[in-house]
A and B are shown apart, each in its own frame.
Chain A
Amino acid sequence: MAVCVAVIAKENYPLYIRSVPTENELKFHYMVHTSLDVVDEKISAMGKALVDQRELYLGLLYPTEDYKMFRKLHNSYTDVMCNPFYNPGDRIQSRAFDGMVTSMMIQVC
């Protein structure tokens, strides 16, 4: 279960960011920023090595078994991309995407 979900565009700005409201949200947003640095590090270190989608995910975060969660997120993102009314680079406003993220977040209160 997630406490914060963020989708970052290639140009390093957030297309979508949502966290469980009871926690200190700023802390989560900072974590998203620092994780971008980790992504960069990993990519530059990889070079010719196998950069697998799954490996990238497991390598960055704690080694959880939540590959399924990442898969669901990517599938929903693909659906957003295929929506003709969505222009790549816009903030994600799809209700279906919201619904999927809700199902992944921790249910607090």
Chain B
Amino acid sequence: MADAVLFEFLHTEMVAELWAQDPDPGPGGQKMSLSVLEGMGFRVGQALGERLPRETLAFREELDVLKFLCKDVWAAVFQKQMDSLRTNHQGTYVLQDHSFPLLIRMASGLQYLEEAPKFLAFTCGLLRGTLSTLGIKSLVTASVAALPACKFQVVIQRS
């Protein structure tokens, strides 16, 4: 497995590049860049969802898929597992990471709080893409209260 920093550097450049290209600095333009990042994460997640589950394809229920995300996917991409997983058993899951690798280099506390969302968009897409390949439609959002801890909220879309 390649050194973790390679992905961190690439991700930082992706965010910087997409933000620099954006002619519209207002909230409308920002939304566009965020959804581009999320889209990239989605496509990567789709491929990951096929590649990662090797012999471990015994997903009996939704909770097993979420546990797979927290353990195997997180370990493969960030070399650590998710710190906590909570659910209301009605299709909403909150995944908590106390020291998210893509935020840890930035600050510890409230500095750069407004900048944090753009560094979470790709990962939200990644989660959504992996779930999509495993047959689950979802909506993933992220929130940061204080760096480097963040929460990812997964809401299962049942039609």
The stretch from B43-51, B66-74, B109-117, B138-146 touching chain A is: B43-51
Complex-state Cα separation, A78 to B57, whole angstroms: 14
B61 within 8 A of A: yes
A38 within 8 A of B: no
List of A residues within 8 angstroms of B61 by Cβ: 48
| A-contact bits for B110-149, CB 8 A (1 contact / 0 none) | 0000000000000000000000010100000000000000
B58 within 8 A of A: yes
List of B residues within 8 angstroms of A82 by Cβ: 47, 50-51
Within 8 A of B (CB), among A44-98: 48-53, 77-78, 81-82, 88
Is B46 a contact of A81 with CB atoms below 8 Å? yes
- Decide: A81 near B58, CB < 8 A? Known: A10-B135, A88-B46: no
- Decide: A78 near B51, CB < 8 A? Known: A48-B61, A51-B58, A53-B57: yes
Is B58 a contact of A77 with CB atoms below 8 Å? no
List of A residues within 8 angstroms of B135 by Cβ: 10
Return the chain B residue nearest A55 by Cβ. B58
List of A residues within 8 angstroms of B60 by Cβ: 48-51
Query: What's the least CB distance linking B58 to chain A, in Å?
Result: 5
List of B residues within 8 angstroms of A49 by Cβ: 60
List of B residues within 8 angstroms of A48 by Cβ: 60-61
Which positions in B face A, CB cutoff 8 Å? Answer: 43, 46-47, 50-51, 57-61, 133, 135
